[in-house]
Each structure stands twice: as C-alpha cells, then as structure tokens.
Amino acid sequence: MIIRMAEKFIDILGKLPVQEVTALVGEPAYLPCDITPAKEGDTVHLILWFREDRNGTSASIYSVDARDRDLTYAEKWSDDEAFSTRATFLQDKQPAMLGIDHIREDEAGIYRCRVEFQVGQTRNSKVNLSVIVRPLTVNIEGANEPLSSEKRYDLVCTTSGSRPLANVTWFLESQMLTHSKDTTTSDGNTTTSVLSFTASKSDAGKRLFCRAQNPIMNSQAIEDVWLLEVQYVPETTIRLGTSLDPNAIKEGSDVYFDCLIQAEPPVYKVEWRHQGKSLSHNITQGVIISNQSLVLQGVNRRHAGNYTCVGHNTEGDGESRPFYLNVMFAPTCKPNQNKYHGVAKQEKASVTCQVDANPPEVDFHWTFNNSAESVNLEQKHVKSQGITSTASYTPMIEMDYGTLLCWARNRIGHQQTPCAYHIIPAGRPDVVHNCTTSNTSKHSFVVRCSPGFDGGLSQSFLLEVRESSSQEVKANMSESQPHFNVNNLEAGSLYQVFVYAYNDKGRSEPMVIQAGTLSPPEKQLTSE
C-alpha cells in the first residue's frame, strides 16, 4: 500500500527534539529515527518520513507500513520526486535510520519521522540535515608574471561553490601568509581574498599557494599555485684581480678588476666609475673595459682612489661598494715650495723640505753642493717628521753658499730627483716691473705690478702717491702683493706713483709711473 500524505504539524510545546546531521554532498546521509516501543510487547505499525517546508507544511517522502505484517517484511515506499530508489530504511541500526545515497545540496532541510505503535502513543522526532559542499573552484587572478623585489602587490584569489563558505588561506611554500582580507558576494557563492604581498630576491623559485577548504570537512583543500619569478636591481661586487696584492701595488703596475653581478633580468650594461666619475674605454690612456672587467695599464698616483662598478637592468641601477685602490710610490718633491733662501754670513737658515710619498713613512738625508764640493749634512742639524724634514744651515764664508739637496726614501724606493734649495746671500729685493693702472675714476685708480726677485727673503710692497707738481704725498700704503687700490684723490689731478719692494735687508729702487684722476664734467652756459 502506498501512503502519500501531507500535513501541517504543530509543535505546541516547542519541545520536539531536533537532531543535527551533517552529510557531504554526493556521499550517503543517515537520518536517525527512534522506533523502539515505550511499552514492552508493543510493536511498530507505521513509520512516516516528512520533509518540512518553511511554512511548516510537511509532505511525506518515505514510509514503512507494518500494519498487517512483521516489521521485517513491512512494505516500503519512497517518493520518486524525492529520494526515489536512493532511500533505504535501516531498521537494525540503533537507532534506526533512513539512509539516502548520493545526497544532493538541495536536499538539506528539516525532516520529521513519525512512528505509530499498536498500543503506544505516536512519536515524532526531527532531524536538521546540513549538506556540505566542497569548494568547486579556486583561482589566483591574473597572469603568473615576474614580480619586482621589495614592491608591494595586491594579489587576488577567488573561490566559489562551497557550502558553508570556504576558508581561504595563502602559503609561501609551507609558511602561512596572514596579510589578507576576505569578502563575500551577496549570494554567498563567491569568496574573494586579497593578499598584500612583497616579494624578496630569496622568494624566486618558491611556490605561492591559494587554498580553499570547507571549514566543516576534513577533506583536502583545493588550491591554485604560482611559481614565483622575482626580478631585482643588480647586486654588484667589485673584486681586485686574484693575483694582485692590494697592499703592494706600485706605480707602473697593471691592475685589473672584475665586477661580480647577480641580476634578474640580466644586466644590459656594466659601468665603471673612479671617484664617482664614469670611465670610458681608452686604450691610449691605458683604460681597457671588456664585458665585466676593467684593466688599468701602468697605473700612477692619479689612478688611486675609489672604484665602483654599476650594473644596469630594467629594475634599476646597482652600484657596488667602493674598492679603494692604493697606489704606492717612492718619494717626490711637493710642488710650490720656496726654493731660494737668502741668508747673511753666520746667520742660521731653516730650510723645510716636503715630499709626496706612499707609504708616507720616509727617511731623509741632506747634502750640500757648491762648485767645489758635495758634503752630507750631519743628522744633528736635521729634524724630520712624516713627510717633512727641516735642515738648519749657517753659511760662515763665501764658499758656504750653494745648494742644499733633500733626499727621501720609503719601502717602495729612493727619490729619483732630490729637492733643491738654493742658499744665497741675503739682499734687497729687485725692482717690481710691468706696472699698470686701471679702473681710473675722479677720485681713485688701481695699480698692479709684477714682483721681482725677493732677495732670498720674504718681501712686501710699498706704494707712495705724490702730486706731480708739488711732490706732496697724497697716499701711502703697504701690501703683501704689489696690488693697490688708491682712493680719496682730487679730481682732474696728475700724480707720480712710486712702488717699492722691501725685505729685512732693505728696500728696492722705486718703479715710478704716471697716473691721473678724471676731470669733473664742465658746466654748460646758455644765453637768454
């Protein structure tokens, strides 16, 4: 007998128990129903399963009819529009169960089991069936393209189909990444996760996973994966040639460098710099650039300093830490030293010698040369410190005038050409020459001269301005150089200018020049 019925069941006291059952879509589901009689000897006559609608109306979907037979041989009916042949009543289970094969997502809901007994009171129980759906898709949006190192990206992963909503997690290999935010569409079907991600050079070749997993299921998550390709600014290191000792490079040596580069993408250009200035390939000057190597032929002290190499790729320019090239050389004279020392007989002169040397630890010795002999100065007359040596010398007779020669040496070698200092009898300075006047105005002019020989002593310069007719002194001034600005003169006047050089031995003869100031403009008279 087929029993199909519909009813509106009202739980007046609201005490009807509801049992929670969870099933995975596509897998079997089991809905429990207690069919054990309350009284001994009582038997089950009829079991009905209903599916409740939201408005409380129930429609029968399955029945077990044992009213005229033993329960073992009861007649079973399953609604073709519901479970059909997928439903089986399992009366031997404790409690008994309605088993449904291949449960579907739309079969989730409230089910009621009504059991009628021969003697006892009818029993109703409810089951809330939740159907769990695996995530159907997961996808990291966009193309798996190279990422720039240390640049922040917002990577987007979407998943859909899960019931309840899937949990989305990000992993870099086995490390979980936590800087992500999730949103869900209004229909609850799609979850979007946005990961804030900054790649580093060390991430190249690692796998980035987006995984979606139903929070109730223990089954394996589904995932999408990117194999990371990370691009970065070239990392460069400058290295001196392996056969070279950085502490033993002398003038005249050949030096070469290698530039070691790590870059992705590869560099398209390698640049070499000396003291921050770019070097160019120039064979005639001994600069040879080839691929990632730099050769300096026959270096000298001008080649000393900091060298760097720069790798250029599409991510930027990477400059190495500087390598200081220390070029050793034997001592040489420092330029712009006072070469002439005027001194009187029995007057002591202090002559200072300075050299350039690398390393600067040097030893000095001095000799005196004149037309008749060459003798070494005793060390008690010499004081040396670093690259400076001072000799005390006192000429006693005419033959004691000549040339002091200063020699130095360091561990690189001896000074090839000595520093020469001429000891001459001290005298008055020579006359200045090449005197000119300029910037003439009504009350001023400028006088410039070239100095003559200083007589072997430090010299200064004196200027006197005299009115041409009266020879009255109108200006008097001294300067360390023969350059004078003469002011406060009368307009339209002629002057004689006397320029002297003087030192401790006296004053030179004057250089006399004529100069004048401009006349004021004449007044213009007009007749009525």
CA dist 69 and 92 (Å) reads 17
Q: How many CB atoms lie within 10 A of CB 173?
A: 10
SS3 250: strand
In a domain, 294, yes or no: yes
Interval 252-267 mean pLDDT: 96
Which residue among 280, 301, 327 closes a domain?
A: 327
Is the separation of the CB atoms in 492 and 520 below 8 Å?
Answer: yes
Interval 15-27 mean pLDDT: 86
pTM > 0.75: yes or no: no
pLDDT tens for each residue of 38-57: 898 899 999 999 998 877 67
User: CA separation (Å) from 513 to 415, 428, 433, 438, 473?
Assistant: 48, 21, 11, 13, 15
Give the Cα-Cα-Cα angle 200, 203, 209 (nearest 5 degrees).
120
User: CA separation (Å) from 496 to 444, 467, 471, 485?
Assistant: 14, 6, 8, 15
Are residues 157 and 123 part of one domain? no
Interval 140-149 mean pLDDT: 93
SS3 106: helix
Taking alpha carbons only, the member of 67, 28, 27, 30 closest to residue 47 is 67
Are residues 18 and 109 part of one domain? yes
Are residues 141 and 179 part of one domain? yes
CA dist 247 and 357 (Å) reads 15
In a domain, 528, yes or no: no
Q: What is the pLDDT of residue 525?
A: 52
Are residues 123 and 17 part of one domain? yes
Q: Cβ contacts of residue 307 below 8 Å, gap of 6+?
A: 238, 257, 272, 273, 274, 294, 322, 323, 324, 325
Q: Which two tokens stand for residue 506?
A: 């006296």
Instruction: Give residue 163's pLDDT band: very low, low, confident or very high (50, 70, 90).
Output: confident
Q: What is the pLDDT of residue 523?
A: 58
The length of the chain in residues reads 528
Instruction: Give residue 2's pLDDT band: very low, low, confident or very high (50, 70, 90).
Output: very low
Are residues 408 and 360 part of one domain? yes
Taking alpha carbons only, the member of 30, 21, 38, 137 closest to residue 86 is 30
Q: Residue 417 belongs to a domain with what CATH number?
A: 2.60.40.10
CA dist 320 and 239 (Å) reads 10
Q: Which residue has the higher pLDDT, 13 or 488?
A: 488
User: CA separation (Å) from 311 to 201, 280, 317, 321, 348?
Assistant: 16, 15, 6, 12, 62
pLDDT tens for each residue of 190-227: 999 999 999 999 999 999 999 998 887 767 788 999 99
Is the separation of the CB atoms in 29 and 131 below 8 Å?
Answer: yes
Give the end-to-end CA distance of the chain in Å, rounded to a whole number: 152
Are residues 313 and 355 part of one domain? no
E strand or H helix that includes residue 345: none
Sign of the C-alpha dihedral computed for residues 238, 242, 244 and 245 taken in this order: positive
Are residues 153 and 122 part of one domain? no
CA dist 525 and 528 (Å) reads 10
Q: What is the pLDDT of residue 220?
A: 79
In a domain, 438, yes or no: yes
Q: Say if residue 448's pLDDT is above 90.
A: yes
Which residue among 228, 252, 268 closes a domain?
A: 228
pLDDT tens for each residue of 179-188: 999 998 888 7
Could you tell me whether strands 494-503 and 44-52 are parallel, antiparallel, or unpaired per DSSP bridges? unpaired
Instruction: Give residue 5's pLDDT band: very low, low, confident or very high (50, 70, 90).
Output: low
Q: Say if residue 320's pLDDT is above 60.
A: yes
Q: Say if residue 89's pLDDT is above 70.
A: yes
E strand or H helix that includes residue 165: none
Are residues 249 and 193 part of one domain? no
Backbone angles phi, psi at 398, to 5 degrees: -60, -35
User: Mean of the per-residue pLDDT values for the chain?
Assistant: 91
In a domain, 410, yes or no: yes
What single string gives the DSSP state of each residue in 24-72?
ETTS-EEEEE----SSTT--EEEEEEEEE-TTSEEEEEEEEE-TTS-GG
Q: Cβ contacts of residue 96 below 8 Å, gap of 6+?
A: 32, 33, 34, 35, 89, 90
| Local structure of residue 14 (DSSP, 8 states) | S
Interval 373-382 mean pLDDT: 91
Are residues 301 and 190 part of one domain? no
Q: Say if residue 528's pLDDT is above 50.
A: no
In a domain, 240, yes or no: yes
* Site of tokens 């409690």: 95
Instruction: Give residue 4's pLDDT band: very low, low, confident or very high (50, 70, 90).
Output: low
CA dist 19 and 127 (Å) reads 5
CA dist 240 and 262 (Å) reads 18
Are residues 286 and 347 part of one domain? no
Are residues 81 and 60 part of one domain? yes
User: CA separation (Å) from 201 to 150, 230, 233, 270?
Assistant: 8, 6, 10, 21
Instruction: Give residue 9's pLDDT band: very low, low, confident or very high (50, 70, 90).
Output: low
In a domain, 167, yes or no: yes
Instruction: Give residue 12's pLDDT band: very low, low, confident or very high (50, 70, 90).
Output: very low
Interval 110-118 mean pLDDT: 94
CA dist 487 and 460 (Å) reads 20
In a domain, 78, yes or no: yes
CA dist 384 and 410 (Å) reads 14
SS3 3: coil
In a domain, 353, yes or no: yes
Q: What is the pLDDT of residue 296?
A: 97
Backbone conformation region of residue 239, classed left if phi is above 0, alpha if psi is from -120 to 50, else beta: beta
What domain range includes position 262?
233-327
Which residue among 80, 104, 132 closes a domain?
A: 132
Are residues 385 and 278 part of one domain? no
Q: Cβ contacts of residue 55 below 8 Å, gap of 6+?
A: none
Instruction: Collect contacts of 80-87 with beta carbons under 8 A, ≥24 apart.
Output: 82/51, 83/107, 87/61, 87/62
Q: What is the pLDDT of residue 13?
A: 40
Q: What is the pLDDT of residue 204?
A: 93
Number of domains in the chain: 5
pLDDT tens for each residue of 468-511: 999 999 999 999 999 999 999 999 999 999 999 999 889 999 99
Taking alpha carbons only, the member of 396, 395, 449 closest to residue 421 is 395
Q: What is the pLDDT of residue 126?
A: 94
CA dist 396 and 393 (Å) reads 10
CA dist 340 and 6 (Å) reads 132
